[in-house]
Structure 1
Amino acid sequence: MMELFEIFIIFIESILFSVFITKYFCIVEIRKSIAVSSSLFLISSIVCNLFNTNGIVLGAITLAIAIGTIVYFLKKITFQVIYIPVLYYALIIVTSLLALIIISIVTGISSNQIINNTQYYIYICLLAKFLLCTITGFILYLEVKINFSLTLEKWGILLVKEFILIGCIAIISTGIITNSISLIHLVVILFMLCCVSFLSIFSVYDTNKINEEKLMHEKTLQRLAYQQENVKMIKDLKVDIDAINHRMFYVLEKVKHELEVKNYDKAIGILNDYKQVVIKQDIFVLTNNESFDALFNLKIKEMKMLTDVKCCITISKRDLYDGVHFINGVMSLLNYVSNSEKIDIYISEKVNRVIIKLYFSGFDEIEEDGSYAFIEKAFGFCKSRIVIDLKSEVKSINIVLLNEE
C-alpha cells in the first residue's frame, strides 16, 4: 500500500514539475512536453526508489531531465534554462521541510519519530505537495518571471555555486528528516561550502569586470553626448561667423564711403559700433576635453545674457579636466561671481599646476573670509593655494591647483 502511495506522490510531483517548466518557458507543444518530462520524472524516481538512491543522485537526474526537456523543445540553452529548474527543485525541498516542521509543531513529535510513523508520513507528503501545488499555481497564475540577461559564458560559475548549494540543502534536509547527520556528511558539506566560497572570488572578479565595462560604456555615451553638443555649438558659431562676415562686407562698404567723402568721425563710429557687435558674439572654448568644453561653453553662453564675459582657456587634454570634481569647481566659481557686471576668466596649466585667474567688477556683495571657505570647498578634491583681492575696483581670485597625477 505504501509503495502505491509513494508512486502517487512521485506522480504528483512529476506532473507539477512538468507543468511548471512547460508553462514557465512557454513551450508550444504543451501536451507532448508534459507527457515526456513527467514520464521521465516518474520512471527515474521509481528506479531510484528501488535502488534506494533518493538523495543527490535523484536530484541530479531530475534536474538533467528538466533541463534536457526545455532544451529539446526550445532548441536553445540559456542561463534561465538551467537556473529556473534549479530554483524549482530547491522549492520542492523547502516545501518538504516546511511540511515536516508544520506537522512536527502541530503534533509535538520530533521529526525522526514522525518519519517512522506511516500516518504522519502520509500527512507530510500530502501537505508538502499541497504547498508545492499552491506555490506553483500562484507563480504561473501571476506569470511571475525572473528575467535574466546573463550569459552562460560569463555566469556559468553562478550556476555551479547553485548546484553545490542545492546539494548542501539536500544533504542537510535528509539529515534533518532522518536525524542522522554523520561526520562524513558534515565534512562533505564543509568541503562544498569551501568550494562555494572559492568560486565566489571568481564571481566578484567577473562582477567587478562587468561593472568597469559598464562604467566605460556610460562614459563613452556621455562623451558622445558632449561631442554632439560641441558639434551643435560649432554649427551655431559657424552661422554667427557667416552672419558677421556678411555684415562686415556692408560695414566696410560704409566705412569706405565715409572715408571717400572724408567723414572720418562717422567712419570711426561705424567701426566702434561693429566692434561691440563682434565682442558680444558667443565665446567658444575647445580644449578637446569633451565634458569640460560642453559644460563650460553652456555656462558662458548662459552668463553672457546678463554679464560681459571674456575667457582664455589654455589647457591640454587630461582626465582631470573632464572629471566631475574639476568641472563642478569651475562651475561653482562662475556661479559665485555671476552677478558681476564684467568677468574675465583665465585657466592655464604649468607642469603639475592648474592656474585659475578670475577678475570681476560691479559686484560688491562678497566677503573675503566667506570666499576662502567657499573656494576651498569647491576645489577640495586637491591641494590648492588661493589668493583673493576684493579691495580693488577690479576684484580678483587666483587659484593654483596642485595636480599630483
Structure 2
Amino acid sequence: MTYFTLFINFIEVFLFSGFIAYTFNLNKKIRYTAIIGMINYAITNISSYYSYDGVFLTIAVLLVTIFGLIIETKTLNFKILFIPIIYNIIIILCTSISVEIVTYIFSIDISEIFLNSTIYYIACILSKILQLILSLFIYIVLDKYVITLKLKEWWIIIATEFSMIITIGLCLYSLNFGKINQMIIKSLLFLCVFSNILFYLVILVCNKNYNEKIQNAKKLQEYAFKKQKYKTIEHIKKETDILNHRMFYILWQIEWLLEKKDLSKIKETIEKYKSLLNKNQYVINSGNDIFDCLVSLKLSKCFDNNTDLKLSIAIEKNEFYDNLEFIDCLNTLIDAIILNNEDTDLSMLEINSFLVINICIKGNKDKNIKLNTAVDSLSKKYNTKTNIYFDDNSYNIRLSISITNRGEF
C-alpha cells in the first residue's frame, strides 16, 4: 500500500462524509465529517492492505455512515438510507467512467492499468475529480428537492438500491479482473430476478398510492362542493333577509296609511310597487336552481333604485352556472348595472358552448367605472371575448364565455 493509495482513500471517504454532512445539514458537520471520515478511512485502508475492494467493504462503509447519521439526527427515515446508497453508486460510476476514459485514451486493456503506475495514478485522480463534480451537482439538486417518502412504505426502493450496488460490484469485479465463473453468473442471475420482484412490488405500491390519491382528490372535491353549497346558502339567506326587510317596510308603510285612512295613498303605494314589479320583467328557463334563485334575489334590488332593467335569460342546465365563483362575478356585474340607475337591457343567451352576455345601457354614452371593473373581472376570470361599443342612443357591452368543461367538481 503506497502513500498515493492513502491519499486517494482519504479524498474518497472525506468527500463522502462531507457530502452527507452538508446534504443533511447536520448541526455538527465538522465533527461528523471528521469522526465518520476517519472510521471509513481506517476501514478502507485495512481493505486496501489486504487487497480487498469488494461488496463487503461497500456495506461496511455504508453501515458506518448510516449509523452515524442516525446518531446525529436521532431518527431513521427513507432519506437517511437512500442518499448514502445513491452516493456509493456514484463512486462506483466515477470509477467506471475514469477507467473507460483512460483505456480509450491510452488504448490499453483494463488489466494493464494496474501494471502501469502512471496510468493508474491518472485513473484514480480522474475518478476523484469526477466524484467531486458529481457530489456538487447532486448536492445542488437535493437542495432544491425535499425527499419525503416514508421508509415503512418505500423500503422496497432501498432494497432495490442494495441489489443494484451488489450487481454493479460483481460486474465491475468480473470486468476488471477478467474473472467470470459459475458462482458470479448465478449471483447475477439471482440479483436480476430479485430486482425484478422488487420492481414489481414498487409498481404495486405506486398503484396503491395512485388509488389513494384519487380517493383523496374525490374527498377534496366533495368538501369543496359542500363548502360552495354552504356559502351559497349563506348568500341566499343574506339576500332573503334584505328582501324580508324591504317587504316589512312596504307593509309598515301600508299599515301607517291605513291608520290614517288614506285609501288613495294606499292605492297609490300598491300601484307604485306593482309598477316596479312590471318594469323588472325577466325570463328564466335554465333549471339551475342556485343561479335562478340568486339572480332573482339580486334583481329585487332594482326596486330600491327604481332601475328600469329588462332581463332575458335562455340557458340550459349546466354545473357551470351554479358555480359560486361565476355567481359572484355575475352578481357583481348586476350590482354595477343597478347602481348605474339607467334604463338597461341585460340578456344571457347560451349559444353552442358559449354564454353570450349582452348589456345595453340606453341614453348613456359615459363609461361607468364600476360596471367596467365588473366586466374586466369577469373577462380575466374566464378569459372572455369582450366587445364594448357605442351607438347613437346606447352604451353596449358584449361578452362571450366558453362553458365547455367548466364548473366540474
Provide TM-score, normalisation by structure 2.
0.65
CA shift in 2, pair 1:213/1:294, >3 Å: farther
> Is it true that 1:238 corresponds to 2:237 in the alignment?
yes
Contact 1:284 1:297 (C-alpha < 8 Å) held by counterparts: no
CA-based RMSD of the aligned residues comes to 3.9
Deviation at 1:333, TM superposition (A): 6.2
* CA–CA distance in structure 2, aligned partners of residues 216 and 332 of structure 1: 36
Matches within 5 A, 1:246-261: 246-252=245-251, 261=263
CA shift in 2, pair 1:169/1:332, >3 Å: farther
Q: Which moved more, 1:147-156 or 1:33-42?
A: 33-42
Partner of 2:44: 45
Letter in 2 for 1:222: Q
CA shift in 2, pair 1:193/1:47, >3 Å: same
Partner of 2:274: 272
CA shift in 2, pair 1:216/1:35, >3 Å: same
Partner of 2:389: none
Deviation at 1:71, TM superposition (A): 1.3
**How many residue pairs were aligned?**
318
Per-residue CA deviations over 1:205-230 (Å, capped at 9, x if unaligned) read: 22222223223333333333333333
Deviation at 1:181, TM superposition (A): 3.1
* CA–CA distance in structure 1, aligned partners of residues 356 and 30 of structure 2: 75
Partner of 1:162: 161
Q: Percent identity?
A: 24
> Is it true that 1:188 corresponds to 2:187 in the alignment?
yes
Per-residue CA deviations over 1:305-338 (Å, capped at 9, x if unaligned) read: 53389xxxxxxxxxxxxxxxxxxxxx88674687
Contact 2:167 2:188 (C-alpha < 8 Å) held by counterparts: yes
* CA–CA distance in structure 2, aligned partners of residues 277 and 177 of structure 1: 95
Per-residue CA deviations over 1:92-133 (Å, capped at 9, x if unaligned) read: 111111111111011111112323434422322222123223
* CA–CA distance in structure 1, aligned partners of residues 99 and 320 of structure 2: 66
- The 3-state SS of whatever aligns with 1:307 is strand
Partner of 1:87: 86
> Is it true that 1:285 corresponds to 2:311 in the alignment?
no
- The 3-state SS of whatever aligns with 2:86 is helix
* CA–CA distance in structure 2, aligned partners of residues 103 and 336 of structure 1: 70
CA shift in 2, pair 1:263/1:119, >3 Å: closer
CA shift in 2, pair 1:94/1:165, >3 Å: same
CA shift in 2, pair 1:13/1:202, >3 Å: same
Per-residue CA deviations over 1:25-58 (Å, capped at 9, x if unaligned) read: 2222233212221221122223334555421111
Deviation at 1:20, TM superposition (A): 1.5
Deviation at 1:286, TM superposition (A): 6.3
Per-residue CA deviations over 1:113-166 (Å, capped at 9, x if unaligned) read: 323434422322222123223433555589845421111011111111111111
> Is it true that 1:307 corresponds to 2:317 in the alignment?
no
Contact 2:288 2:321 (C-alpha < 8 Å) held by counterparts: no
Matches within 5 A, 1:51-62: 51-62=50-61
* CA–CA distance in structure 1, aligned partners of residues 30 and 253 of structure 2: 91
Contact 2:62 2:85 (C-alpha < 8 Å) held by counterparts: yes
Partner of 2:322: 296
* CA–CA distance in structure 2, aligned partners of residues 13 and 59 of structure 1: 12
CA shift in 2, pair 1:71/1:255, >3 Å: same
Q: Which moved more, 1:82-91 or 1:37-46?
A: 37-46
CA shift in 2, pair 1:263/1:133, >3 Å: closer
Where structure 2 has 5 or more consecutive residues not aligned to the other structure, the ranges are: 292-317, 335-345, 360-403
Contact 1:10 1:45 (C-alpha < 8 Å) held by counterparts: yes
- The 3-state SS of whatever aligns with 2:156 is helix
CA shift in 2, pair 1:125/1:334, >3 Å: closer
Contact 2:348 2:356 (C-alpha < 8 Å) held by counterparts: no
Letter in 1 for 2:58: G
Per-residue CA deviations over 1:231-263 (Å, capped at 9, x if unaligned) read: 332222212212222222343456675897379
Letter in 2 for 1:307: S
CA shift in 2, pair 1:132/1:253, >3 Å: closer
* CA–CA distance in structure 1, aligned partners of residues 141 and 216 of structure 2: 35
Partner of 1:125: 124
Letter in 2 for 1:206: V
* CA–CA distance in structure 1, aligned partners of residues 348 and 142 of structure 2: 62
Provide TM-score, normalisation by structure 1.
0.66
Contact 1:48 1:54 (C-alpha < 8 Å) held by counterparts: yes
* CA–CA distance in structure 2, aligned partners of residues 214 and 232 of structure 1: 27
Letter in 2 for 1:235: E
Contact 1:22 1:30 (C-alpha < 8 Å) held by counterparts: yes
Deviation at 1:74, TM superposition (A): 1.7
- The 3-state SS of whatever aligns with 1:17 is helix
* CA–CA distance in structure 2, aligned partners of residues 74 and 308 of structure 1: 63
Letter in 1 for 2:322: F
Letter in 2 for 1:261: L
CA shift in 2, pair 1:263/1:11, >3 Å: closer
Deviation at 1:79, TM superposition (A): 1.4
Letter in 2 for 1:128: S
Deviation at 1:293, TM superposition (A): 6.1
* CA–CA distance in structure 2, aligned partners of residues 62 and 116 of structure 1: 27
CA shift in 2, pair 1:187/1:274, >3 Å: farther
Deviation at 1:86, TM superposition (A): 0.9
Deviation at 1:268, TM superposition (A): 6.5
CA shift in 2, pair 1:189/1:145, >3 Å: farther
Contact 1:98 1:128 (C-alpha < 8 Å) held by counterparts: yes
Letter in 1 for 2:240: I
Contact 2:160 2:198 (C-alpha < 8 Å) held by counterparts: yes
* CA–CA distance in structure 1, aligned partners of residues 179 and 188 of structure 2: 14
